[in-house]
């Protein structure tokens, strides 16, 4: 890498560095880049970024040089031209900031990222909405598998799962592809010897989550990644919830919100006691975290935090009695900014047709029954979470239990 000097008309000089395309390290001085922090180092900037940055700094040098001001005026530069140049400089600096924060020329504006990653469901995968929100990477994953298991009495079970990854998306995506299959295998083995009413759902879920955790930790690809998991198995007589982490399931029954899971936070008294009993610590580092690292006390993956972070789920079996209206499964991107009661209130209005999102109207002609309204409710919740300041990925499933 070589330091060079550009000489501008009027005798003004500024230093810059030549470099390869993919790694451009910018030395900062108050005279070279006065509007950027002095410890600034860019990452993965392309040639076009380098050129634009140089242009912006040349314009700054010209505009700030007393010896060049008179030259510009005599050359016919007007106040309007100054405004255009100033606006261009600001635009280039903003673009440079985005490039260096995201590491590529393909970074998207917030609005474009919301639109690009949002998934409102389709014919085979309704009832849900997922948005990247204000994050740079989508680490949430959703799985819906209707009729994923049939028992010997021809009873059908539906599967719903929300997975909130951290450190990357690989564990969440692995759970999306594998966890329901592992559970289906466990259930089918039990069906030959046990009636559905007598099935030990807790043992089934614990075994399933343990196998998923083993699969994830056997590969080196996931590194320090992990994922929360909240899954629901819905039959005609019961709703089974297994939760590992801080995603959440909430049931609306008889007009009241009823949580079907408890968030696993490191400072929850029983979780704190469990972690400390194993020799671990919960450290306040931008919030309560296991060993100062992870803000949830249970997850799939996170091999380096075992045994303090466990993949063992808490399981709740709710016997249906006919007053159930709907169920919400969502990542903490929703629950961080919205209470259970408010979320249920919004969904209830959506299912009643009192809140409707115009963009979802196109689904009405292609979906039958309550699918459009359940999907619309999920979309409304994600958009409301963004409006209320959620900074995380947001994934929501709404299940209409009146179908």
Residue-wise pLDDT for 237-272, tens only, equals 999 999 999 999 999 999 999 999 999 999 999 999
Distance CA 350, CA 379 (A): 10
Distance CA 207, CA 51 (A): 57
For the cut 70, the answer to whether the pLDDT of residue 393 exceeds it is yes
For the cut 50, the answer to whether the pLDDT of residue 26 exceeds it is no
For the cut 70, the answer to whether the pLDDT of residue 48 exceeds it is no
Region of residue 392 (left: phi > 0; alpha: psi -120 to 50; beta: else): beta
Measured CA distances, 277 to 280, 288, 307, 308, 313 (Å): 7, 17, 11, 9, 19
- Would you say the C-alpha torsion 70, 72, 73, 78 has a positive or negative sign? negative
Distance CA 227, CA 185 (A): 22
Strands 256-259 vs 248-253: parallel, antiparallel or unpaired: antiparallel
Record the pTM.
Answer: 0.69
In this structure, CATH architecture of domain 110-400: 4-Layer Sandwich (3.60)
Residue-wise pLDDT for 367-384, tens only, equals 445 568 999 999 999 999
Region of residue 31 (left: phi > 0; alpha: psi -120 to 50; beta: else): alpha
Highest mean pLDDT among 25-39, 109-123, 366-380: 366-380
Q: Which of 42-56, 142-156, 197-211, 336-350 has the lowest mean pLDDT?
A: 42-56
How deeply is 228 buried, as exposed, middle or buried, from its count of CB atoms within 10 A (0-12, 13-18, 19+)?
buried
pLDDT recorded at residue 85: 66
Distance CA 187, CA 70 (A): 83
Structure tokens at 314: 């808490």
Domain ranges of the chain: 2-102, 110-400
Closest C-alpha among 365, 250, 375, 381 to residue 318: 250
Q: Mind giving me the DSSP string for 231-278?
A: EEEE-SSEEEEEEESS-EEEEEETTEEEE------TTSHHHHHHHHHT
Q: Which of 76-90, 95-109, 302-316 has the lowest mean pLDDT?
A: 95-109
Closest C-alpha among 248, 244, 251 to residue 261: 248
Terminus-to-terminus CA distance in the chain, angstroms? 67
- Would you say the C-alpha torsion 399, 266, 311, 304 has a positive or negative sign? positive
pLDDT recorded at residue 192: 59
């Amino acid at each position: 890498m070589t330091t060079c000097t550009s000489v501008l008309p009027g005798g003004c000089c500024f230093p810059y560095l030549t470099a390869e395309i993919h790694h451009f390290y910018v030395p900062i001085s108050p005279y070279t880049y006065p509007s950027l922090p002095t410890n600034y180092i860019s990452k993965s900037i392309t040639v076009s970024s380098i050129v634009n940055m140089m242009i912006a700094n040349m314009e700054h040098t010209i505009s700030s040089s007393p010896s060049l001001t008179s030259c510009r005026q005599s050359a016919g530069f007007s106040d309007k031209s100054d405004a255009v140049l100033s606006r261009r400089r600001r635009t280039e600096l903003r673009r440079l900031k985005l490039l260096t924060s995201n590491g590529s020329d393909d970074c998207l504006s917030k609005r474009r990222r919301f639109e690009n990653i949002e998934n409102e469901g389709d014919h085979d995968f309704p009832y849900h909405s997922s948005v990247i929100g204000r994050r740079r990477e989508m680490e949430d994953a959703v799985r819906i598998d209707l009729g994923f298991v049939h028992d010997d009495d021809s009873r059908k079970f539906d599967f719903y799962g929300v997975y909130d990854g951290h450190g990357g998306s690989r564990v969440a995506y692995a759970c999306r592809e594998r966890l329901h299959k592992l559970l289906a295998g466990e259930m089918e083995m039990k069906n030959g010897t046990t009636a559905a009413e007598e099935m030990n759902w807790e043992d089934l879920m614990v075994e399933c989550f343990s196998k998923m955790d083993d699969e994830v930790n056997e590969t080196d690809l996931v590194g320090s990644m992990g994922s929360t998991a909240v899954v629901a198995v819905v039959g005609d007589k019961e709703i089974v919830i297994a939760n590992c982490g801080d995603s959440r399931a909430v049931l609306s029954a008889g007009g009241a919100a009823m949580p079907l899971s408890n968030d696993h936070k490191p400072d929850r008294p029983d979780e704190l006691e469990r972690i400390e009993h194993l020799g671990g610590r919960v450290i306040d580092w931008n919030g309560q975290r296991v060993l100062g690292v992870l803000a949830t006390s249970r997850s799939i993956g996170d091999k380096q935090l075992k045994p303090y972070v466990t993949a063992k789920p808490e399981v709740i079996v709710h016997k249906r009695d006919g007053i159930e209206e709907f169920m919400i499964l969502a990542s903490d991107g929703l629950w961080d900014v919205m209470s259970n009661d408010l979320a249920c209130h919004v969904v209830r209005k959506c299912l009643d047709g009192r809140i409707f999102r115009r963009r979802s109207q196109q689904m009405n002609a292609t979906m039958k029954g309550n699918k459009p309204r359940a999907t619309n409710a999920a979309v409304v919740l994600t958009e409301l979470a963004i409006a209320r300041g959620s900074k995380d990925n947001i994934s929501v499933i709404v299940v209409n239990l009146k179908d």
